[in-house]
Every structure is written in structure tokens, then in C-alpha cells.
Amino acid sequence: MTLKQLFNKWVILGALAFAGLLLLITALSIGFTSPLQPADVGFAPANLTVIPASTATSSAPPTATIDPFAPTPVPTGIAIGNYVQITGTDGEGLRIRSEPGLDGNPDFLGFDSEVFIVREGPVALDGYVWWYLVAPYDETRAGWAAADFLSYIPSP
């Protein structure tokens, strides 16, 4: 038998068909034996809300204190329910304390231009007027801060 008779077109087509059949069987067996991925796998888009720091100043008059024996705060426009931002720390941040006064433990560091809502105050202690602040985006960022480093801003 010659080489030409051994490799005729029918032998080559038969070998290709057999190889294709083996490839199809392999692909199907892999497909049926691999575990299916759950349909809920994927990425969820994240919603991010950016609250820009306001640079506007207000001419709001100071509010009267409720306690007649409490010292009157310096007219700054800072009052309960108003928004304030940290200013004048030269980038070092402001220690937000667990209680008013310099003896209060610092809970965290507030950064320049960070915005807070005033919830309590004023309390005059250690030569400063102290206000209780809460971050509008995170209730856990709350504490007392000295008014010397706060500026009134209009509500957004």
C-alpha cells in the first residue's frame, strides 16, 4: 500500500469528523458538569452624594440664649439648627470632643470646610463658646467644638 492510498480524502475527512465529534463531546461534558453561576451575581452601581462646602457668609443676627444666666455668645450667626463649617485651623483640623471644654476627650478630627448641623449649645467654658455638632451625612460624627473655629453657612 502506498502513502497516497493511505492518506486519501476520505481518510482525512473521517479523521477530522472523528476529532470534531470528540471535541463536541468534551465541550458538552464540561458544560453539563460545571456548576451554574447564580443569576444575581454582578456589580451594583453605587450612588454617591457630594455635599459641597459653602463659602458664603451670612448676615443672620445672633439668637438669644434660653438660659438667662448663660453668657451671651459672640454674635456669629451660629444657632441650634443652623449649618456651620470648620474654618481657621490652617489644615490641621478641629478636635471634636465628647463634652464641652478642653478637658473633654477628643472623639475625632473635623477637617477644614467640613459641614455640620448645630444641635446643642452654647456652653461657655475654658475661654471658648462650645457647640454640639452633628454631621448631616453621618450621625456618629458628633461632638462639641469651639465656636472660634466655626463659621455659619446657610442651609443647602
> Who has greater pLDDT, 1 or 3?
3
Q: Is the pLDDT of residue 51 over 80?
A: no
pLDDT of residue 23: 93
Residue 115 — very low, low, confident or very high, per pLDDT cuts 50/70/90?
very high
Q: Is 77 left (phi over 0), alpha (psi -120 to 50) or beta?
A: left
Which H helix or E strand runs over 9?
helix 9-33
- Computed from CA positions of residues 14, 20, 23, 29, in that sequence, does the dihedral angle turn out positive or negative? negative
Q: 45-156, superfamily in CATH? A: SH3 Domains (2.30.30.40)
Q: How many CA atoms lie within 13 A of 69 on its CB side?
A: 0
Q: If DSSP codes are grouped into helix, strand and coil, which group holds residue 149? A: helix
User: In this predicted model, which residue has the larger pLDDT, 144 or 76?
Assistant: 144
Q: What's the pLDDT tens digit per position in 59-89?
A: 666 665 555 555 554 456 899 999 999 999 9
The domain limits of the chain are 3-33, 45-156
Could you please report the per-residue DSSP string of 10-78? HHHHHHHHHHHHHHHHHHHHHHHHSPPPPTT-S-PPPP----PPP-----PPPPPPSSTTSPPPPSSS-
Mean pLDDT of 128-148: 93
pLDDT in tens, 3-50: 776 778 888 899 999 999 999 999 888 877 766 666 665 666 777 777
Of the candidates 152, 82, 89, which has an alpha carbon nearest to the alpha carbon of residue 120?
82
Question: What local confidence, expressed as pLDDT, does residue 53 receive?
Answer: 75
Core vs surface per residue 35-58: b (16+ CB within 10 A) or e: eeeeeeeeeeeeeeeeeeebeeee
pLDDT at 58 over 80: no
Residue 134, C-alpha cell as written in the block: 452633628
